[in-house]
Structure 1
């Protein structure tokens, strides 16, 4: 698994994801829901790739839900998933060990080598062509299934490609190009007449 780690003010970097956890303690369903939103974190590299850090999915200490982690490669090969809460991580780095490494700030050499190997297995592409079912799944993960998405810009290029830019997606904007045999209708998404979301 790999992600865009959003640092704020337009800054970001790409990292492998080694775990995904939350600290939910409440028995009340609604409280559990809130705790899950605000306590969920990822185990990722720091920007320099010299240590592991805990990076919250939603920016802490704000009244808004600001997404900080955009999963761009959803591959969970070699992960152990807890079926009860859908959390988990890579098999060589269980949660207790990951939390200990993060709190101490020192990554044992054998763990660091495995993390680096994991990191080097992925090549980031800023613009990806969607060709396979896996590409579609990754796109859904990155965009949050287009939750709250709205077409902000639409145009046809001189070459006949349809360009769409979406806003409202948690944590990003999305640009999409369609080409070849195009058939489409976006009239129902025109904000002058309809709810565009």
Structure 2
């Protein structure tokens, strides 16, 4: 796994491999324990491991300090969200950063150094689509800042929410639908991402299996193109909860 790490407002975000992810020990309630998640990553100088709480209490709301950009679990045990690199399973994640041996630390540094970070990711398969939805939290609380479209390409820039800022590009006869009569239509609560009739569709409704042929049956908001790619940028210090709904900035040159 690889992520943007934001330590505080005075230091810029940086990229690091996630070497372990776990929940702090404690008697947490079912809906509370997720907010006690932490990740073990390299420090800014890539010289030692540090433990960073994913969710931290800010001045007005929760800040997300770890924004995962890839979820590769090839060397991860167990093959689940919480776990660690296989060679680190002998350590307690809670004390990993302070108890790791010099040999294993050097291995961590080398893994991070050799990682090839790919900024843009293309959606080619259903698995790719599932990964994007997992990384974005199904676009929950996401809202669109800008939409720029021409006959060949459509660029969508989302505002910052839950520690990330998404950018999407649809190529190949892009199209979209927005319904200005629906309140807060720039905000999302859930979504579906499907491939139908040669196009990738991202729409603001859950569990959509296919796109209706009649225009009146279409989702209230969707974006589509023959090809789709995305990138995830850090967005720790500005969340959807702090932003008021507003109109999307639209540039349509089709």
1:50 positional shift = 0.7
User: Where has structure 1 moved over 6 Å in runs of 4 or more?
Assistant: none
Secondary structure at 2:132 match in 1: helix
Secondary structure at 1:50 match in 2: coil
How far apart in 2 are the matches of 1:133 and 1:48?
Answer: 37
More helix by share: 1
Structure 2 length-normalised TM: 0.63
Q: 1:8 to 1:184 in 2, by over 3 A?
A: same
Structure 1 length-normalised TM: 0.78
How far apart in 1 are the matches of 2:48 and 2:165?
Answer: 29
Q: 1:93 to 1:194 in 2, by over 3 A?
A: same
Q: Where does the alignment leave 5 or more consecutive residues of structure 1 unmatched?
A: none
Q: Determine which structure has greater relative contact order: mean sequence separation of CA pairs < 8 Å that are 6+ residues apart, divided by chain length.
A: 2
Work out whether 1:181 is the aligned partner of 2:179. Answer: no
1:26-45 equivalent positions in 2, closer than 5 A: 26=27, 31-37=29-35, 39-45=36-42
1:1-197 equivalent positions in 2, closer than 5 A: 1-9=1-9, 11-23=12-24, 25-26=26-27, 31-37=29-35, 39-60=36-57, 63-81=60-78, 87-94=82-89, 96-103=91-98, 107-133=100-126, 135-157=128-150, 160-185=152-177, 187-188=178-179, 190=180, 193-196=182-185, 197=187
1:16 positional shift = 0.7
Assess if the C-alpha contact under 8 Å between 1:144 and 1:169 holds in 2: no
How far apart in 2 are the matches of 1:36 and 1:95?
Answer: 23
How far apart in 2 are the matches of 1:137 and 1:3?
Answer: 18
Assess if the C-alpha contact under 8 Å between 2:153 and 2:173 holds in 1: no
Q: Where does the alignment leave 5 or more consecutive residues of structure 2 unmatched?
A: 188-254
**Cα deviations by residue, 1:119-146 (Å, 9 ceiling, x for unpaired):** 1342223333433455434433432221
Q: 1:21 to 1:119 in 2, by over 3 A?
A: same
Superposition RMSD in Å: 2.7
More strand by share: 2
How far apart in 1 are the matches of 2:114 and 2:12?
Answer: 23
1:34 positional shift = 1.6
